Structure 1
Amino acid sequence: DRVSSPPRARDTGRDGHGHGARLPAEHRGHGRADRPSGGRRGRVLRRRDPAQLRRQRPRRPRRTGTGEEGDRQGRRYHRDVVRQDRASSSSTPRTPTSPGAVRKVPRVHSAGATRNAPLPSAATTDTGTPKVLSAAEVAEAGAEAAAGQDPLQGLQWDLPAIKADKAHEKSLGSPEVTVAVIDTGVDDTHPDIAPNFDRAASVNCVSGKPDTSEGAWRPGPSESAHGTHVAGEIAAAKNGVGMTGVAPGVKVSGIKVSNPDGYFYTEAVVCGFMWAAEHGVDVTNNSYYTDPWYFNCKNDPDQKALVEAVTRASRYAEKKGAVNVAAAGNENYDLSADEITDPVSPNDGTPSDRVIDPSECLDIPTQLPGVVTVAATGAKGLKSSFSNYGRGVVDIAAPGGDSTAYQPPQAPATSGLILGPLPGGKWGYMAGTSMAAPHVAGVAALIKSTHPYAPPSLVKALLYAQADATACTDPYDINGDGKVDAVCEGPKNRNGFYGWGMADALDAVTR
């Protein structure tokens, strides 16, 4: 973990504050715990005939975000600045580059104090430590690969878990669909990512101002592999190299929003959503929570302003055609509980235990209106030991991995974690709801490929209606110690562990 504060991207099996079973140390990364989700709206799941979809308005043209238009966009983002009065006694003017300034984008009218410390100019922190496959392991897996499979696909138990292997016999997805990975950066030079990478929809938003310079969206040499892993889970090409993504025929872009210390500050996240909205992105993946507050309480003026800023940005992205998908979090929290103890906020200052009401204090963007909240499952199809849950909060479930001791996979897979690409042409395992969300983002991209004129509301309705209903696990004693580790509430077709059920890639391409 980062010195003095837990990391942010949701890719590890941290157990939050002593709740429930904990992913064993050998399987935990050092990434930030995935976040919980907040209350969710009711869904209308009326099915529509495909002919209805064809009558809807045609897809909007993609904007390149480069050249003259990109320059204008950058100048506008830089010009619009929200001044914050975090310290009322301060007489120091807030400038666009001062720690108290938050950059503003159109339709985002307010933002509060985003941090208690200045942006560091140079520092490094892992937000996830993957288990890297050795050259010998890669060669061995390739030698055992079945005909028609990419060399490492046999290690991917997660693909058959959502019927993605069967889906690929029907469709790999459309190159007209782009999924944006709002994360720590994406290494587009990786052989599994390069064929499907959308450079025009990629950007560095760390400062709150879009930077489209060559490679600005990539992680630095000592920065986290998290975003690269996520991107490959979604859209690693089926090209005879490495592994296969859930939607290996769609495009993927990188929107880098975490600074060198691994913090995901609000102005960067707002910039990321706005960029996605204005560049034709169809799905965004959000496997993080915004810093420095795990939960942002609406009775605090600054935290309320942060919620409002990201809410407006995410809603704008959805209005422009994007389905926003987010990880539920890795603390084994019941997000429908009356109260939760948050021991990590603010994570860039002096954190202290605070008891919050998760219906009033929101994990953003996970709990925001319209966001698809994803819980994680392991190789046995059970809720991952670390995954947050909550009736009316979790929308859907997908593989995020778990300890191999808790949920061992079937051969030829050997690890209960999730395989993905890593910077530098490598592959490795990670676990977390950070890994579950991209599986759902990939399925959403397949739905969009099948129904190219479907608006986000219909893509989400199909996603939930096509999910495989999964009954509560009762009792849930994941580590077999005789103690109940979490309590699931709700019926088979919508409950606190699995939401509407397990994401279904095959239905996404056939219905």
Structure 2
Amino acid sequence: MRRPTTALVLACALAGATGLTAHAAPPPAEREYIVVLEEGTNAKGKADEHSRAHGAQVKHVYQAAMKGYSGRMSEQERERVAADPDVAWVEPVRQVRATAQSLPTGIDRVNADASPTAAIDGADQRTDADVAVIDTGVDSSHPDLDVVGGKNCTLPMLPPEDGNGHGTHVAGTIGAVDNGDGVVGVAPGARIWAVKVLNDAGVGTTADVVCGIDYVAANAGTIDVANMSLGGAGSDDGQCGRASGDSEHSAICRAVSAGVTFAVAAGNDSADAANSTPAAYDEVITVSALADFNGRPGGGAPATCRQDEDDTFADFSNFGADVDLIAPGVCITSTWPNGGYNTISGTSMATPHVAGGAALHKATNPGASPEQVKNALQRAGTKDWTWPSQDPDGTQESLLDVTGF
């Protein structure tokens, strides 16, 4: 019998998480300049002279790549500095940001860079699939995401924006754009539908979750895959919730029957996923987490954002017969609100790798049913990860591998 529950929480282990930022530096001061000196000029001496005579607030002195310095000064001070015969020119400081796109370890480990459909090469080819992120919302203005619509079930009068970060992170692992900037997802450029069912503290109710699933089912003609990196207490009655009065299970069964593939988090309690929903439901793809610190099999890589053993079953991950696949879920770098990027851990982070894999399969097999998608992902999986390790259930799950998708 399913235990009653009203609150659902993120399937995300944040302990030891490390934050990364999107930009190399904050916007430059309005009156910050680079002063380029003529060759042969003593840069340090000239910077000191300009500081004393003209009030320049020197920040950097350049002596190897060029002769010059940077500093803050008023327009009048800039004009006086520029009039010095030892000055070649004075230019305003401009904002710069990181432009190199990184391949997150999880994307590397599931071989998304080898997928012909993902076609990861920095050329911004978009995956022709639609994925709903049932979560805390998604940053709709993030430059690395293609958010095309959605619904706010927590505050219906507002757009489904993300004030937490979790949903945006999930969305990036699924479909961050392959544009040579930031990160890239498993299914680059997949169209993201932001379905906000958790508030900005990462907590929600089954009523809001059912609202989100209902929205997905209503748009099953467009939405191919749904990601649920959340969970609460409960079990599977084997009858799509009819025997135990489980509206969440009933709603998921209807959405699956309408053609939507659901990837869900196993949970982070180091316990049997049979006691957590939606992880326990047979109609979904339940995903446990692999600890992987370098994107490669074999183990031995040092831990990064949290302590765990490389290439093994994550020490926090739920386990059991309800788990269908394992995917990287430790120290995963992805998108974050306000155009940022962040590195966090949890089965929440493993699940969107599988949702991205499902999106790749649907992009080339649009008529595939959820069961066919699930079977395809399981058949393509590999056992090339260290086992037995912390996984206590006696079964080695297949590790997601999208090479052939």
After TM superposition, the score normalised by the length of structure 1 is: 0.55
Match of 2:261 among 323, 342, 347: 323
Contact between 2:216 and 2:223, CA under 8 Å: does it hold in 1? yes
Could you tell me how far apart the structure 2 residues matched to 1:386 and 1:284 are? 24
**What is the distance in 1 between the residues matched to 2:160 and 2:383?**
37
1:461–1:169 Cα change, 3 Å: closer
| Structure 2 counterparts to residues 158-307 of structure 1, below 5 A | 158-167=106-115, 171=119, 175-193=127-145, 196-199=146-149, 202-206=150-154, 211=156, 216-219=159-162, 223-279=163-219, 280-290=222-232, 294-295=233-234
Cα shift readout 1:91-127 (whole Å, capped 9, x = no counterpart): xxxxxxxxxxxxxxxxxxxxxxxxxxxxxxxxxxxxx
CA distance 1:169–1:175, shift in 2 (3 Å): closer
User: Is the 1:400–1:432 contact (alpha carbons within 8 Å) kept by the matching residues of 2?
Assistant: yes
Alpha-carbon RMSD across the aligned residues, in angstroms, is 3.0
Q: Secondary structure at the match of 1:237?
A: coil
What pairs up with 1:436-451 in 2 under 5 angstroms? 436-451=350-365
Structure 1 residues 26 and 170: alpha-carbon distance in aligned structure 2, compared to 1, 3 A threshold: closer
SS where residue 505 of structure 1 aligns? coil
Change in Cα spacing, 1:453 to 1:425, as seen in structure 2 (3 Å) is: same
Residue 21 of structure 2 aligns with which residue?
Answer: 133
The range that moved more, 256-265 or 437-446, is 256-265
The one-letter code matched in structure 2 to 1:505 is: V
Find 1:504's aligned residue among 395, 401, 405: 401
Q: Is the 8 A contact 2:311 2:386 kept in 1?
A: no
Residue type of the partner of 1:180?
Answer: A
Distance 1:284 1:297, change over 3 A: closer
2:281/2:322 contact within 8 Å kept: no
How far off is 1:428 after superposition? 1.0
Whichever residue aligns with residue 289 of structure 1, its letter is: G
Inter-partner Cα distance in structure 2 for 1:327 and 1:465 = 20
Q: 1:170 to 1:269 in 2, by over 3 A?
A: closer
Q: Is the 8 A contact 1:206 1:268 kept in 2?
A: yes
How do residues 75-474 of structure 1 correspond to structure 2 at under 5 angstroms? 131-133=19-21, 135-136=23-24, 151-154=100-103, 156-167=104-115, 171=119, 175-193=127-145, 196-199=146-149, 202-206=150-154, 211=156, 216-219=159-162, 223-279=163-219, 280-290=222-232, 294-295=233-234, 308-335=246-273, 358=274, 362-379=275-292, 380-390=310-320, 392-401=321-330, 417-470=331-384, 473-474=387-388
- For 1:489, which of 367, 387, 394 is the aligned residue? 394
| Aligned mates of 2:180, 2:142 — CA distance in 1 | 14
> How far, CA to CA, are the matches of 2:178 and 2:254 in structure 1?
33
Q: What's the offset of the Cα at 1:364?
A: 1.6
TM superposition shift of 1:170: 6.1
Partner SS, residue 286 of structure 2: strand
Shift in Å, 1:131 = 1.5
Structure 1 contact 296–304 (Cα < 8 Å) conserved: no
- Distance in 1 separating the partners of 2:142 and 2:164: 15
Structure 2 runs not aligned, ≥5 long: 1-6, 27-95, 293-309
What's the offset of the Cα at 1:304? Answer: 7.2
Give a deviation string over 1:139-184, Cα, whole Å, max 9, x none.
xxxx9x9xxxx72414x11122011111157646865410100000
**Residue deviations 1:184-207, cap 9 Å, x none?**
0101101101xx2222xx111126
CA distance in 1 between counterparts of 2:118 and 2:358 reads 16
Question: 2:136 touches 2:165 (CA, 8 Å); kept in 1?
Answer: yes
Classify the secondary structure of the residue corresponding to 1:26.
Answer: strand
Amino acid at match of 1:26: G
Structure 1 unmatched runs, 5+: 1-5, 14-24, 28-129, 336-357, 402-416, 477-484
**1:467–1:504: 8 Å Cα contact kept in structure 2?**
yes
Q: Distance in 1 between matches of 2:270 and 2:324?
A: 16
- What is the CA–CA distance in structure 1 between the aligned matches of 2:286 and 2:267, rounded to whole Å? 9
8 Å CA contact 1:472, 1:489 repeated in 2: no
CA contact (8 A) 2:312 2:386 kept: no
Shift of 1:504: 1.2
Secondary structure, counterpart of 1:273 in structure 2: helix
Alpha-carbon distance change, 454 to 189 in structure 1, aligned in 2, over 3 angstroms: same
Inter-partner Cα distance in structure 1 for 2:210 and 2:324? 23
C-alpha change, 1:297 and 1:399, in structure 2 (3 Å) is closer
Alignment identity in percent?
Answer: 32
- TM-score, normalised relative to structure 2: 0.68
Residue pair 1:287, 1:326 contacting (<8 A) in 2 also: yes
By how many angstroms is 1:393 displaced? 1.6
In structure 1, distance between residues paired with 2:171 and 2:385: 30
Deviation at 1:133, TM superposition (A): 2.9
Query: How many angstroms apart in 1 are the aligned matches of 2:117 and 2:154?
Result: 39
Q: What's the secondary structure of 1:198's corresponding residue?
A: strand
